[in-house]
Chains A and B, each alone.
Chain A
Amino acid sequence: MIAVLHREEVLQRAWSAASSVVDPELPMLTLLDLGVLRDVEVAEDGAVVAAITPTYSGCPAMATMRDDLLRSLQAAGFSDARVRVALEPAWTTDWITPTGRSALAAAGISPPGAAPRRSGPVALSLAPIRRAIRCPQCASEDVALTSEFGSTACKAHYRCLACLEPFDHVKEI
């Protein structure tokens, strides 16, 4: 019983340490709120193992995320910590938490809508993607897509036709 309690306490403290780590490119968001931190567990050898998944295959921030997680876990007293990659299931923007969405909006980044649900082959889309989004600065709905590819792989670039500010939008995937 004591061993079980201890294990749960350890797990709780490890989750808490891992959950405080922020994304290196979206520092207003924790890895947990971004849906990148998938799991924290205590391995058979007693090590704390955190699992992360890349947002995009070429996500260049994975190494930094790993280092930041290890640093945070070590600072919380887990000298024996590891980070593993969880490739499956693939990350989706639906995993960004409500807290994460609010944090994005507060930082001037338009949060994603619902990710597309697909059955069968992906249909070709020759017209620009229409999204019902608002300018994160002035809340106007009068916005225009500048490019489907923005400052990072996970964002599209928009401009607001009301306040004329450009802004990023996290693409639904």
Chain B
Amino acid sequence: MAEVHTHEADDHESAYAGLLVNDAHWAFGTDFEDPLAGVDTTVPEGIEPATLAAYCLMLGDDALVLSQRLSEWCSRAPDLEEDIALANIALDLLGQARLLLARAAKADPSIVPALPDGSPVPDEDRLAFFRDDLQFRNVRLAEVPNGDFAQTIVRVLLFSSWRLAVFERLVRSRDSVLAAVAAKGIKEMAYHRDFAARWFLTLARGTEESRRRLVAGLDQLWPLWPELFETHALEREAAEAGVAVEPFEVSAEVQVVLAQVFAASGIDRPERGALAGIQGKKGRDGRHTEAFSLLVAELQVVARAHPRGQW
């Protein structure tokens, strides 16, 4: 007699049975209408709302764009642990970006791109998905292609060392949202920096090939490094109002951290000059490298195809 296959048996055998019972649990993260719900977002006295918004975009875009690049490693990293580590780092940065973009929108609603009436897309998503490439204010270090794993490690080390030092000062910002984002971010950036620094050391002292790749990656990214310590006019304005950190302030401290990593790894500091801007304009001014438009296109294509989309 043929075995009767009941629904119950099917349910028992299917790993997916039960997963669809409560759809709400699969809508993680996309429908908290306002990540700053109930948070006091009053613009502090003495700073132009537009300046505060621009500064939030700078720090938010750095995180958003690097998060997008790191996400490209998903399913492609050298092994599962590193795949998950890079995805975790990307997620932390995406969370920081979300808060910072939402804060920018609250400070100056006029920067938020307009969408058709009735569009449910929240402000921070509008800023992420409906601005054009020239409106992004991230440093170019965040946007260049990943290269190989070694080059990705170098980028995470450079970026997290710098951002950690900036956040350690930003906790004293007169803007309470920026101060809170920084205080939380310090814990995350410290993990990112340690992860990258340990891998830097491992690759430097690994095989001839791993060391060659690390040195090549460092050499490739080094011209983008000085840009992180240049103070943009808007950053100076925001810093003078007690809201922002002038990035040159963190230079000495960050160079000491790098020197420690280089010394332990037996790697020389590269001697390459800074990558020039376009007529003096760089990432903070919205002038980017060629690869950036492609990154933005991939980041935005789905959202732009569905401006009324509910996710």
Contact = CB atoms under 8 A, between A and B. Distances in A.
Interface of A: 24, 49, 51, 54, 56-64, 66-67, 82-91, 121-122, 124-129, 146-151, 153, 157, 171, 173
B89 interface: yes
A62 B32 contact: yes
Given A56-B91, A90-B184, 12 more contacts: A56-B95, A57-B99, A61-B29, A83-B38, A84-B38, A89-B183, A121-B253, A124-B197, A126-B198, A148-B191, A149-B89, A157-B84
Given A57-B96, A146-B81, A91 B184 contact: yes
Contacts of A64: 24-25, 27-28
Given A63-B29, A124-B260, A149-B81, A57 B38 contact: no
B283 interface: no
B35 A62 contact: yes
B295 interface: no
Given A24-B25, A57-B99, A150 B84 contact: yes
Nearest to A43: B38
Given A147-B85, A149-B195, A153-B91, A85 B190 contact: no
Contacts, number: 133
Given A66-B32, A149-B85, A122 B164 contact: yes
A84 B37 contact: yes
A148 B193 CA distance: 12
B28 A60 contact: yes
A122 B87 CA distance: 23
Contacts of B261: 124, 126
B43 interface: no
A122 B35 CA distance: 28
B84 A147 contact: yes
B176 to A, nearest CB: 7
Contacts of B186: 122
Given A85-B37, A87-B39, A121-B253, A57 B188 contact: yes
A92 to B, nearest CB: 8
B164 A147 contact: no
B257 interface: yes
B198 to A, nearest CB: 6
A85 B106 CA distance: 15
Contacts of B30: 63
B98 A58 contact: yes
B68 to A, nearest CB: 13
B202 to A, nearest CB: 10
Interface in B169-227: 176-177, 179-181, 183-188, 190-191, 193-195, 197-198, 201
Contacts of A129: 194
A54 B96 CA distance: 11
Contact of B38 (A56, A63, A82, A90): A82
Contacts of B275: none
Nearest to A129: B194
Interface in B57-93: 81-82, 84-85, 87-89, 91-93
Given A90-B180, A146-B81, A149-B88, A63 B264 contact: no
30 contacts: A56-B91, A56-B92, A57-B95, A57-B181, A57-B188, A58-B93, A59-B29, A60-B29, A60-B91, A62-B29, A62-B35, A63-B28, A63-B29, A64-B28, A82-B37, A85-B36, A86-B38, A88-B176, A88-B183, A89-B183, A90-B184, A90-B187, A125-B197, A126-B198, A127-B198, A147-B81, A147-B82, A149-B81, A157-B81, A157-B84
A58 B81 contact: no
Contact of A87 (B31, B87, B93, B184): B184
